[in-house]
Amino acid sequence: MAKMEPATFTLASEDDLPGLHDLSVHLFGVMNTVSYSTLLAWHRKNPESYYVLKQEGIVTGYAGFLYLTAENTAYIMEQAQPETSAPSTTDLLPFTPGIPIAGHS
């Protein structure tokens, strides 16, 4: 039996996004996955939003953290049943060292 390479968990690069999107479609379906162009726009707005788990160069898992504006977060939290529409890139913020992302007032 051939020995497999160890899995890696790293910050996603733009080259990883097609595999990340394909995995999301496979897991959640086309209707519950943002478009590739939206994913790419989010990544370009905040390149630290997605991390990928790769086994032998193939994306096998991922984690995503979208840092949204206080207004957008409040809007989502106020809804009895939040909309499923994806936030626009104007609703995303970059992660900035020293600035907390929780507790917006």
Residue 20 domain-assigned (yes or no): yes
Instruction: Give the residue ranges of DSSP H helices in 29-80.
Output: 36-45, 70-78
Instruction: Flag whether pLDDT at 45 surpasses 60.
Output: yes
Position 105 scores a pLDDT of 45
Residue 96 domain-assigned (yes or no): no
Average pLDDT value for residue range 74-95: 80
The boundaries of the domain holding residue 85 are: 8-91
Q: What is the domain-level CATH number for residue 20?
A: 3.40.630.30
CB 20 within 8 A of CB 39: yes
End-to-end CA distance of the chain: 57
For residue 80, the 8-state DSSP code is: S
Q: pTM above 0.75?
A: yes
